[in-house]
Every structure is written in C-alpha cells, then in structure tokens.
Amino acid sequence: MASVYEFQMAMTCEGCAGAAKRVLGKLPEVSNVETSVEQQRVLVTSTLSPDRLLETLQKTGKECSYIGVK
C-alpha cells in the first residue's frame, strides 16, 4: 500500500524541483511527486521505503532529509 512521505530538500528554483521529479519519476513504484520550492519540501506517494526514496533524491546532488509520513 502506498504512503505519502515528506522530505526536506534544498531547492532554489523550479529547476531543482524538476530534478527531484525527474529522478523519482524513473521509479515505477512512485505514483505522485509534489514539490514546493518555497517550503523546500518534496511529497512522494510510493510503496517504496523512505530510505530508498531518500537515496534516490540524493542523486540530484541537493541536500535532502526525511521528515516523515504525511
């Protein structure tokens, strides 16, 4: 069953948000990604573990951390 996980991610522009959406979008287990540059948040709907999602987000080269389940 999918859960919504919240991550903090250092984003300065929509390009940063796009990078998060791009890397997460490659995972078939991710059904939705919402980003907020202002709040520096990424919400991910997925059946994957938060550790796996964080590992994927870190591929953007941005500083990321797991906040919790929404």
Per-residue pLDDT tens digits for 24-47: 999 999 999 999 999 999 999 999
- Specify the pLDDT at position 56: 97
Could you read off the pLDDT of 47-70 as tens digits, one per residue?
A: 999 999 999 999 999 999 999 998
Q: What is the CATH number of the domain that holds 36?
A: 3.30.70.100
The Cα 38–Cα 49 span in angstroms is 26
Q: What one-letter code names the amino acid at 61?
A: G
Structure tokens at 33: 């990604």
Tell me which residue range forms the domain holding 13.
3-69
Give the confidence band of 16 by pLDDT, cuts at 50, 70, 90: very high
- According to DSSP, residue 61 is labeled S
Number of domains, the chain: 1
- Specify the pLDDT at position 32: 98
Sorted by sequence, the CB contacts under 8 Å of residue 5 that are 6+ apart come out as 43, 44, 45, 46, 50, 53, 66, 68, 69, 70
Q: What one-letter code names the amino acid at 42?
A: V
